[in-house]
Structure 1
Amino acid sequence: MDFRIFTEPQQGATYETLRRVAVAAEDAGYDGFFRSDHYLAMGSEGLPGPTDAWTTLAALARDTRRVRLGTLVSSATFRHPGVLAVQVAQVDEMSGGRVELGLGTGWYEEEHRAYGIPFPPLRERFDRLAEQLEVVTGMWATPVGSTFDFTGEHYRLEGSPALPKPVQERVPVIVGGAGKRRTPALTARHATEYNAAFAGVEDAAAAYERVRAACAETGRDAGELTFSIALPVCAGRDDAEVARRAAAIGRTPEQARAGGFAGTPGEVVEKISRYAQVGATRFYLQVLDLDDLDHVAFVAEHVLPQL
């Protein structure tokens, strides 16, 4: 199993806050530090304001040494795929080959309006995502000295040198979401990982099966894919500590347990094991209180050794 800390800095976090959590995650032995890619808070003021995902990861590439770094997930509406390929390749070099790219359609219409980003209908967003995956992976795979061309409905590249190259031979690409047709197809074609973000156990199992079916249709071995889940974590030594941590993120203990990896260490282990039984091998533990570094250490010390 692989365990990663996952953060939502649009809810309110400076770079220094994120750096402390990333370093704490690295020191505690987690496998990765990931962040969302959003520009507008949800249900809060989000002070002092958003931080750009790939700017943040570039800095963390220099401020960490071991953990994997990436987005869960970047929106295809935010960046031109040629520019995104350059950004990710550069951060990969800065990190010594530790970067992963999560890419999705984008869904939060309000942030697009707030920052002047076009927000086309869902079908077009899926079309753009498909072309972006083609462009980004195609540029990285183009041999040095050759050029990359692409003509799609939304993007056109002519004679691109497709530089720079990532350090990794293949940058891991994460596709996620609950789409029942195009999401599995795009995963089978382009991804190294499928993430069932915030899905219940039964829904995650069904989503994993759709991806396996899509792989079978395209002749790809589904065993090449990593299947993952992302859920909030809220753990404590006893019910009182669980309640305190739940209150800090605006939830009751019951809400935390229903929608995440929450409770005492034994409860959290049992919930994680249920996802493992349906095929998940990678777990993104969403930490919502970024000032509670003891929480990050507690889970690493009392939950992960049991798994």
Structure 2
Amino acid sequence: MDLRIFTEPQQGADYETLLSVAKATEELGFDAFFRSDHYLTMSGDGLPGPTDAWITLGALARETSRIRLGTLMTAATFRLPGVLAIQVAQVDAMSGGRVEFGIGAGWFDAEHTAYGIPFPKEKFPRLEEQLAVITGLWNTPAGETFSYEGTYYTLTDSPALPKPAQPKVPVLLGGAGKERTPRLAARYADEFNMPFASVEDTAAQFARVRNAAEEAGRKPGDLVYSNALVACVGKDEAEFARRAAAIGREPQELRDNGLAGTPDEVVEKIGRYAEHGASRFYLQILDLSDLDHLELIATRIAPQLD
């Protein structure tokens, strides 16, 4: 079972804070450090302001040596696909081949308005073309060129450089869409992520993705199936309640919707997701100043999942 740390820096975190969390992630034995790709807070003042996902990951690539690095999820609306292919390939090389590429259609219209980013209506078709372009660029043999003519993007005789350090950068797709999302995952994804969903909804969506994979001629077991859930853990009820209050959430609501409570409670809930095929969890950590929280998860939860 892989446990990964997932941060939401748009809620208020500078690079130094993210660096401290990433270093703790590595030192405590977690598998990966992931971050969101947003430019506007969803609550609070968001001070000191947003950081860019791929600039952050490029810096962390040089400050860490073992953990995987990636996004849940890069917004396809933020970057042109050719530019994004270059950025991800460069960070992969800077990390020695530790990048994983999560991408989604983009959804938060307010951040687009705030920073002058176009917010097209046809987001999902654009995402599909972005995946075709990005993977096409990476997969083009060295010395050959790549061309693509779509509805939204056209590339002509691209040298398709640079190449990632890895033979294949893992592609992560996710979401709750019942038709187009499983179909796209079956075509492009190495991992399917179900974010902030119940065990029951997770089971239903994983089944749709498995069916889509079979229809596409893939083995369903070739994909990794994962969940992203808020984590809030205390060694006892008092510590759990204190951590819940620190992130402005009610203990029972967290228990219902996240991986929350005492270590034993969290292990039991992880087991319920695992029964439906989840083998990787992105633990959304909302209080990035509380590194003791990470240590508790590493010492009291991770060993029970080996």
What's the TM-score bracket when you normalise by the shorter of the two chains? over 0.9
1:118 Cα deviation (Å)?
1.1
1:43 Cα deviation (Å)?
1.4
Secondary structure, counterpart of 2:101 in structure 1: strand
- Map 1:8-157; keep pairs closer than 5 Å: 8-121=8-121, 124-157=122-155
1:23 Cα deviation (Å)?
0.4
Query: What is the identity, as a one-letter code, of the residue corresponding to 1:55?
Result: I
1:102 Cα deviation (Å)?
0.3
Distance in 1 (CA, whole Å) between partners of 2:123 and 2:250 is: 36
**Is 1:187 aligned with 2:185?**
yes
Distance in 1 (CA, whole Å) between partners of 2:169 and 2:131 is: 12
Secondary structure, counterpart of 2:178 in structure 1: coil
Equivalent residue pairs, number: 305
Q: Tell me the equivalent position of 2:226.
A: 228
Distance in 1 (CA, whole Å) between partners of 2:119 and 2:198 is: 28
1:222 Cα deviation (Å)?
1.1
Distance in 2 (CA, whole Å) between partners of 1:175 and 1:237 is: 33
Query: What is the identity, as a one-letter code, of the residue corresponding to 1:119?
Result: F
Distance in 1 (CA, whole Å) between partners of 2:304 and 2:202 is: 23
Secondary structure, counterpart of 1:286 in structure 2: strand
- Map 1:200-279; keep pairs closer than 5 Å: 200-279=198-277
Distance in 1 (CA, whole Å) between partners of 2:23 and 2:221 is: 32
- Identical amino acids, percent of aligned pairs: 65
Query: What is the identity, as a one-letter code, of the residue corresponding to 1:94?
Result: M
1:230 Cα deviation (Å)?
0.3
Distance in 1 (CA, whole Å) between partners of 2:120 and 2:139 is: 29
1:292 Cα deviation (Å)?
0.1
Secondary structure, counterpart of 1:303 in structure 2: helix
Q: Any unmatched runs of 5+ in structure 1?
A: none
Greater Cα shift, 20-29 or 253-262 = 253-262
1:145 Cα deviation (Å)?
0.4
Q: Any unmatched runs of 5+ in structure 2?
A: none
Distance in 1 (CA, whole Å) between partners of 2:156 and 2:116 is: 27
Structure 1 residues 84-126: Cα deviation after superposition (integer angstroms, max 9, x where no partner): 00000000000000000100011101101111111122xx100
Greater Cα shift, 189-198 or 253-262 = 253-262
Distance in 1 (CA, whole Å) between partners of 2:78 and 2:63 is: 25
Q: Tell me the equivalent position of 2:279.
A: 281
Secondary structure, counterpart of 2:45 in structure 1: coil
TM-score (norm 1): 0.99
Distance in 2 (CA, whole Å) between partners of 1:44 and 1:118 is: 24
Structure 1 residues 192-212: Cα deviation after superposition (integer angstroms, max 9, x where no partner): 000000011000111100101
Secondary structure, counterpart of 2:111 in structure 1: helix
Query: What is the identity, as a one-letter code, of the residue corresponding to 1:281?
Result: S
Secondary structure, counterpart of 1:4 in structure 2: strand
| Superposition CA RMSD, Å | 0.5
TM-score (norm 2): 0.99
1:252 Cα deviation (Å)?
1.5
Query: What is the identity, as a one-letter code, of the residue corresponding to 1:141?
Result: N
Distance in 2 (CA, whole Å) between partners of 1:139 and 1:8 is: 29
Distance in 2 (CA, whole Å) between partners of 1:120 and 1:73 is: 18
Distance in 2 (CA, whole Å) between partners of 1:115 and 1:206 is: 37
Secondary structure, counterpart of 1:153 in structure 2: coil
Distance in 1 (CA, whole Å) between partners of 2:76 and 2:250 is: 34
Distance in 1 (CA, whole Å) between partners of 2:22 and 2:31 is: 11
1:216 Cα deviation (Å)?
1.1
